[in-house]
Amino acid sequence: MFALADCNNFFVSCERVFRPDLHGKPVIVLSSNDGCAVARSNEAKALGIKMGDPYFKIKGLVAKHNVEVFSGNMALYGDMSQRVRWVLEGFAPAIEVYSIDEAFLDLRGMQGIDYDKYAKEISLHCWKMISIPVSVGIAPTKTLAKIASKLCKQYPRLNGGCYMHRPQDIEKVLRKFPVGDVWGIGRRSLAKLKAMGVNSAYDFTQLSEAVVKNIFGVTGLRTWRELKGEPCIEFEDGFEAKQSICVSRSFSSEIHELPELCEQIANFASSVAEKLRSQNSATCELSVFAYTNRFKENEPQMYGNRLVQLSTHTNDQRVIVTRSIDAVKELFGRGYGYKKAGVIATSIMPVQNVMRSLFEDTASVEKEHKLTSAVDAVNKAFGRGTVKFAVQGSGKIKSSSEKQSPHYTTEWSDIPVVTVK
């Protein structure tokens, strides 16, 4: 058996942990630069606010119904996701983190368990420990487990847990479940299925194996088999390092001066180095880019990009930041207003596989490692950006986050204060 634990309206739920007054009220969370709605409470959904709706288009609706609006606070959401994962790890031999708000639990080999009761217990424990509502679906395959978790959100009487295993129950659910909502069915596949008259997940299971393989390939066939109760999607409980890392942002307003652009690139590069170290990897190739606002056609346009080749693989913040700044100085054009920029690391490999130069100073390498480890430890203990390069300025990305909540769990200065009288 597999379980899928899915945090309900996760970003909104994180905000409500520290703002209990928001329970029962419409709430939305916006994307970077407060562009569009990326999370909505059930009350906001009921008002007709859709995922991805541009904020400027729904401002009237927001004002009319007193919708609470938050700018995205990824530091908070990431930390709360970690806390949920710690709770889930106590319920299964292995878990697979699928996204910031979803994780699979491997329940194979666990005998003598009332899975329906177990699913509800997991959900209840997450609520007691973290105050995050979590829907837990348990089924014979990962695809069916995702469907079971969705049922929890549709039917509150399930109390956060659903065990779906009997063939007759699975068929009943699949007959009503839209095929477009099935995990693994993309937009292109959905268009083909609609053309074939396939509307429900059950309709999809009634296609022949030959037809599914011929039209939808191996991936589609795997989903088809999973819906029929045959586990085909591997459980990946190990951590897979990223082969490329990109940190970029659109700025709240155009940047016209080189020092300001250097500051932003330094912050991006620093973040890239941190991500490399977090997965114990190193890079020898960086791509630094910056470009203007293409929507302002009446203004001069510029797309600048520089490829930086490093002499050896590294995750040293000093090297990555310095070389990135050198690159942005080369591509910068005076008279242009830059709207977006970023740093991309490629040619990534595990640190243990890096071949050092014969003439490299071993003592210097060891000193570098100790220094970066100390910086990471300080920033982890006292908040990101506690120790940073001077060129990073305030250490903040230039973006619109006027409605961002405090960093309750990651910044000492933002820890809630309770006064007892």
105 and 60 co-located in one domain: yes
Q: Is residue 234 part of a domain?
A: no
The number of domains in the chain is 3
Tell me, what amino acid is at 388?
Answer: K
Q: Is residue 420 part of a domain?
A: no
171 and 158 co-located in one domain: no
For β-strands 27-30 and 68-71, DSSP reports them as parallel
97 and 175 co-located in one domain: no
- Confidence (pLDDT) at 377: 83
213 and 276 co-located in one domain: no
Q: Is residue 86 part of a domain?
A: yes
157 and 8 co-located in one domain: yes
151 and 187 co-located in one domain: no
User: Rounded to an integer, what distance in angstroms lies between the CA atom of residue 406 and that of residue 79?
Assistant: 13
Classified as helix, coil or strand, 69 is strand
- Confidence (pLDDT) at 41: 94
305 is in which domain, residue-wise? 245-392
153 and 16 co-located in one domain: yes
Q: Which of 115, 142, 162 is the last residue of a domain?
A: 162
**Alpha helix segments (H runs only) across 65-140:** 74-88, 115-130
203 and 251 co-located in one domain: no
55 and 100 co-located in one domain: yes
CATH number of the domain to which 380 belongs: 3.30.1490.100
């709770």: which residue's tokens?
87
- Confidence (pLDDT) at 160: 93
Q: Is residue 404 part of a domain?
A: no
Q: Which of 308, 270, 287, 272 is nearest to 390 (CA)?
A: 270
Residue 395's Cβ-count burial label (10 Å; 0-12, 13-18, 19+) is: middle
Q: Is residue 349 part of a domain?
A: yes
Q: Is residue 236 part of a domain?
A: no
CATH number of the domain to which 214 belongs: 1.10.150.20
264 and 342 co-located in one domain: yes
Phi/psi-derived region of residue 364, left when phi > 0, alpha when psi is between -120 and 50, beta in every other case = alpha
Q: Which residues contact 183 (CB under 8 A, 6 or more apart)?
A: 142, 143, 146, 147, 223
18 and 80 co-located in one domain: yes
User: Rounded to an integer, what distance in angstroms lies between the CA atom of residue 53 and that of residue 31?
Assistant: 10
**From first to last of its 421 residues, what are the pLDDT tens digits of the chain?**
899 999 999 999 999 999 999 999 999 999 877 788 999 999 999 999 999 999 889 999 999 999 999 998 888 999 999 999 999 999 998 889 888 999 999 998 888 889 999 999 999 999 999 999 999 999 999 999 999 999 999 999 999 999 999 999 999 999 999 999 999 888 888 888 998 898 999 999 999 999 988 888 888 899 999 999 999 888 876 556 678 899 888 887 889 999 999 999 999 999 999 999 988 899 999 999 999 988 888 888 889 999 999 988 998 888 999 999 999 999 999 989 999 999 999 999 988 888 776 666 667 767 777 887 888 888 777 777 777 888 888 767 666 666 888 888 887 788 888 888 7
193 and 156 co-located in one domain: no
User: Rounded to an integer, what distance in angstroms lies between the CA atom of residue 322 and that of residue 309?
Assistant: 13
CATH number of the domain to which 69 belongs: 3.30.70.270
Q: Is residue 52 part of a domain?
A: yes
pTM of the model: 0.75
- Confidence (pLDDT) at 296: 83
Is residue 34 within 8 A of residue 400, CB to CB? The reply is yes
